[in-house]
Amino acid sequence: MKISIFTLLLSISLSVFAQSAQEEIDQQIWVPFTRAWEANDGEAYNAVHTDDVWRINPGRLLLGDQYKKRNTERMTGQKRDRIIEFTFETRTANGDNAYEVGYYRITDRSEDQPRYFVGRFHVAIKKIDGVWKIAQDWDTDEINGEKINAESLEKRDFIHFQ
């Protein structure tokens, strides 16, 4: 009986910790990530990443300063009317480490007709000096050689972090 109660309390505690970690990650990563990305603010965007971040796209790996310099150059002076939204498959936290897998949906309204982009992401996240940061960011627009499209994600609930 004591073991069952202990197991129940431990699982409730871990569940509360995971929820708390996800709320912190939302506020410390996804809200500022979204704001910076939509505003084309390279400095703010870089601030949600570790100094030694790994950025992986199919066929390319950018590390730390190389990635951050590219962000600053790419975002400076860019004016776009776009939003980014997220939906998650997996969100796991353990101590000062977390791993999240999900999909993003971009709506670009810069032209006469809106354009839509979707993809899948995997991020490894670390808590450094009390603040969550993205340590590794990987994304793709394909799964098993098949393009991800808006129709394949239409039943998912997307979140626009503000």
Domains and CATH numbers, the chain: 2-153 (3.10.450.50)
Q: What is the mean pLDDT of the chain?
A: 88
Closest among 100, 114, 121, 82 to 28, alpha carbons compared: 100
Dist CA 102 CA 121 (whole Å): 5
- Give the helix ranges, DSSP H, for 26-154: 31-39, 42-47, 64-75
Dist CA 2 CA 21 (whole Å): 28
Q: Convert the pLDDT of each residue in 113-161 to its tens digit.
A: 888 899 999 999 999 999 999 999 999 998 888 899 888 788 888 989 9
Identify the pLDDT of residue 95: 94
In this structure, which amino acid lies at residue 114?
P
Average pLDDT over residues 72-94: 91
**Token pair belonging to 60:** 């390319």
Distance of CA 43 to the CA centre of its chain: 17
